[in-house]
Chains A and B, each alone.
Chain A
Amino acid sequence: MAVTFNINTGSNTPIYKQITDQVRLGVASGRLAVGDQLPSVRALAEDLVVNPNTVARAYADLISEGLLESRAGRGVFITQKRKIYSRAEGWRRLEPMLNALIGEAMILDFTRDELREAFEEKLSKWKHQKGGDGKNE
C-alpha cells in the first residue's frame, strides 16, 4: 500500500512537518506497512513541487524517530514501528487534541452520546486497532 502526499502552502504547519505527519498517519492507519518503500527525496520533491531539502529534512526526522530506514542505494523504507514515546508522554501529546475535540463538540451542541457513537464508529474503521485484530506488530 502507499500513501498519497498532499501539501498545502500558507498553512500554520511547515511543509516538512506536513510530510512527517502524513507518514506517521499512514503508519498509524495501516496504509503504510513495514517494508513499504517511500518515494526518493528527489521524486517526492518534484511530485509535490517543493524544495528537496524540505523532503530530506522530513525523512531525516522520521529516520531518527525510527519510523523510516534508508537502505544505501535502494531507497527509503518503513521500518518496524518502534514505540518511542512512554505512555505518559503519549497522553501528554494526545490530551490537547482530546480537549479541543470535546470543546468543539460542546460548542456545537453535540450530546455526549452522539460524541461517543461517532467516536466508536471512527474507531471501528481504523485498520490496525491496538488490541483489536492483533496485527499491530
Chain B
Amino acid sequence: MNNESVIQTRNLTKYFGGKAAVYELNLDVPRGCVFAFLGRNGSGKTTTIRMLMGMVPPTRGTGTILGHDIRALTPEVRARIGYLTEEHQLYGWMNVKQCGEFQSKFFAKWNGRIFRGVAGHFGLKPEARVKDLSRGERAGLCLALTLAPEPELLMLDDPGLGLDPVARRALVESMIFLTRKSDRTIFFSSHHLSDVERTADYIAVFDRSILRACCPLEKFQESVQQVRLRFPGTPPALPKIPGLLQAVRTENELRVTCVHYNGEAETALRTLSPVEMESVPLGLEDAFISYLGERGEKTFILSEMEAQS
C-alpha cells in the first residue's frame, strides 16, 4: 500500500433543495485498500458514491477519482472503475452468457474467465434467464459483470443488500479473492458489520450527511470502550466525561461507553467511588451502534477520530 489516494475529496457538499445530503466531506482512500463506507440509511452514502462517479454534480467542493476531477470523467477513466449499483439493473430477457457478451462490448478489456468464474461461484448457469434468477443470483451476475473488465477501483454500493447468508459469503469470498492484486482498491458501503469486519482495512462512518470517523478498522474498534461501574445503591449522577457516547443506568450499575477512554476519563469516573470498575472492549457492531445510536448524551467530537482536515 502506498500513499497515493485513489479517491480524494475536499469539502464535497451536495444539497437537495435546502437539505444537505453530504456536508463538507473530506475523504482520502489509499490505493490498494479495502475501504468500508458505513452509516445509517439516508446518511448520504449513495449520494457520495454517485458524486464520485460523476453522476451527480456536487453543490460545492472538489473531488478526484484515480487522479481525475469527478466533474469531468472521461469514458477511459470510467472504464477503469467497476461500479456496482444498489439496483442491479439487468435485462430480464437475456441469459447469463448473453449478459456477459453484451456488457463486454462496452469495454476495451474483458476477462471472460473472471466473468465465468465469479458467475460460477454464485452457482449461475450460462443458459439461465435473468428474469428467473433469485436476488442473490442477480447480485452475483452483476458482480461478475463488474469484475470482468478487471477494474483497478471497485465502487460497490451496498453489494450485500438483500442477500441471503450463502450469497453474502460468496460475495465476501470474492472480495477477499480480489485483494490478490495488491494495487486494486475496493470501496464499498454496507450495513453488514460482520462482512465489514472480515474485509475492511479502513472504515468511514457517516452520520446524517457528516463524516464522523475515518480510520483503520481495529483502531475504531479499540477506541470505543465500555466501562462498568458498580455501586452499593443507586448510581450517582454522571460528571462530565471526555469522549462520552452513552451512559446506561441500572439499579446499581452504570455502564458508560466512551471513545478514547483515557486517564482523564478514568479519573473522572473514579471520583464516583464505585465498589467495582472494569473496562471492557466492544465488538464492532456494539461500537458502531454506540457511536451512531440515539441513546445517551452525544457530547464529543474527537479530533483523532474525525476526518482529516
B284-A10 in contact (CB<8A): yes
CB of A10, distance to nearest CB on chain B (Å): 5
CA distance A30 to B211 in the complex (A): 47
Known: A49-B173, A51-B176. A12 touches B280 (CB 8 A): yes
Residues of A in contact with B (beta carbons under 8 Å apart) = 9-16, 42, 45-46, 49-53, 57
Contacts A49-B169, A51-B200, A51-B201; A12 near B281 (Cβ below 8 A): yes
Q: Judge whether B177 is part of the interface by a CB distance below 8 angstroms.
A: yes
Bound: A46/B177 CA distance, A: 7
With A10-B285, A15-B197 already in contact, the answer to whether A51 and B179 are too (CB < 8 A) is: yes
Please judge, given known A-B contacts A10-B197, A51-B34, A51-B199, whether A45 and B283 are in contact too, CB under 8 Å: no
Q: A49-B169, A50-B198, A51-B198 are in contact. Are A12 and B179 (CB under 8 A)?
A: no
Q: Is the CB of A12 within 8 A of B198?
A: no
Q: Does B172 contact A (CB under 8 A)?
A: yes
- Cα(A22)–Cα(B282), bound, Å: 20
**In the complex the two chains form, is A52's CB within 8 Å of B176's CB?**
yes
Q: Which of B191-206 contact A (CB under 8 A)?
A: 193-194, 197-201
Among A12, A16, A53, A57, the residue within 8 A (CB) of B282 is: A12
Q: Determine if B218 is an interface residue (Cβ-Cβ < 8 Å).
A: yes
Does B113 make an interface contact (CB < 8 A)?
A: no
Q: Are B194 and A10 in contact (CB under 8 A)?
A: yes
A42 touches B198 (CB 8 A): no
**Any chain A CB within 8 A of the CB of B222?**
yes
Chain B nearest CB from A102 CB (Å) reads 15
Question: By the criterion CB–CB under 8 Å, are A52 and B194 in contact?
Answer: no
A42 near B180 with CB under 8 A, answer yes
Q: Which residue of B lies closest to A11 (CB)?
A: B283
Contact A15 B198 (CB under 8 A): yes
Q: Which B residues lie within 8 Å of A52 (CB)?
A: 176, 179
B221 at the interface (CB under 8 A from A): yes
Contact status A9-B194, CB under 8 Å: yes
Across the interface, name the chain A residue whose C-beta is closest to B179: A52
